[in-house]
Amino acid sequence: MQEDFLHYIWKHKKFRFNNLETTTGESIVVTSVGQHNFNSGPDFFNAKIKVGDQLWAGNVEIHIKSSDWFVHSHEQDKAYDNVILHVVWEDDTEVFRKDNTPIPTLQLKDIVDVAMLNNYEKLFAKQNKWINCENDFPSTDDFVLTNWLERLYLERLERKSETINTLLVASKNDWESVFFKMLTKNFGLKVNGESFFSLGQSIDFSIIRKTQSNPHVLEAFLFGQAGLLEQDIENAYYLDLKNEYKFLKQKFGLQNNQVLPLQFFRLRPSNFPTIRLSQLANLYNKHQNLFSKVIESNKVEDFYELFKVSTSDFWETHYTFQKTSKTSIKTLSKSFVDLLLINTILPIKFCYAKQKGVEIDSEIIKIATAITSEKNNIISAFNNLKKVSKSSLDSQALIQLKTEYCDKNNCLKCAVGNQFLNR
């Protein structure tokens, strides 16, 4: 048994609440369980409890055993001087205040529902399970699960906002610049994500603004910063880019020594960094104020239209600078735009609205629900238990559930775990 289970029992009053008594036989009436404290100090602040004829206002400390008070050295900590009730699973010793008066103690083991205790022990039984509740997950109430996944999705957006907020501070609140950096990272996908992010970080967005009207110049800028123009290749397109970047480098004092090397190995040709950088250049050439257009758009179809871009002409017959390939128009695919929506666009819209004090949760949820579910090992495993992931909202929420709740045994903070405990 863990203390967080006892916190849960106390917080949600999951015990026989009437006719409570201390271990010495005094009556207890709980008016307020107090505020759960997740930092140092007593477990619950500002509780209101009547012990005998005396009404107390103060803090509640919770332990497995009463003797844990001394194990944790609370008798030496002034923060615990205002504890009015000691809540324990098992009372194995008396605990006294500094004035030698005993702290009233409530023992839980005889007043907690046996079924809940059994469910708790079953949930956290050390078995070779993918998640603690995998045997019971299929029977989770659909209404409970739907609402919980929606909350988890917004929670995941909050987590993604941390990176965005850090970039905002560094850029002095330049949203266009932050959006470019996040978008560049996600154009690199999983393999080149960090390399593309380092590329975005190496660029002062003002240079993008100055060069985006000319797609060839913008390509030269991006390819050069990415370190792709440092070979001896004899074709006109490559040499033009190289000369253009040489000029830009001198003009703007460019440095790219912090940009991480790009990878081609094990990538599909359509995901080669050359293709993605050309598409990115053409995207910013096509839209002079891309961030504003993203903020204004509120339908998934709007984004598919907005991101309908391809490469420059050279890349219609190439995947690399040297080798010619069969002609193909390399337009951003719907599935690729979906990834941009999931990982960049919706987090940016969420974060921007929050900063401006605008409520758009329902709008974002609507867009996320219209996007196809991601496919990965986590999603497949959940779907094998219960067909639950029907959209990107579901898949993102399930990733949040697995990484922040299941993997960390935070079942008591989970709606699914709570439903199981209270059966």
The alpha-helical segments, DSSP class H, found in 326-404 are 334-340, 346-356, 361-370, 377-385, 392-401
Contact yes or no for 222/262 (Cβ under 8 A): no
Within 10 angstroms of residue 88's Cβ, the number of other Cβ atoms is 25
Contact yes or no for 64/90 (Cβ under 8 A): yes
Sign of CA dihedral 339, 323, 249, 244: negative
pLDDT digits (tens, 9 = 90+) for 261-285: 999 998 999 999 999 999 999 999 9
Helix, strand, or coil (residue 324): strand
pLDDT at site 225: 98
How many Cα neighbours within 13 Å face the side chain of 107?
15
Within 10 angstroms of residue 347's Cβ, the number of other Cβ atoms is 23
pLDDT surpasses 80 at 413? yes
Helix, strand, or coil (residue 305): helix
List the domain boundaries for the chain. 3-112, 153-370
pLDDT surpasses 90 at 54? yes
pLDDT at site 202: 97
pLDDT digits (tens, 9 = 90+) for 359-399: 999 999 999 999 999 999 999 999 999 999 999 999 999 99
pLDDT digits (tens, 9 = 90+) for 159-192: 999 999 999 999 999 999 999 999 999 999 999 9
Taking only Cα atoms into account, the Rg of the chain, rounded to an integer number of angstroms, comes to 29
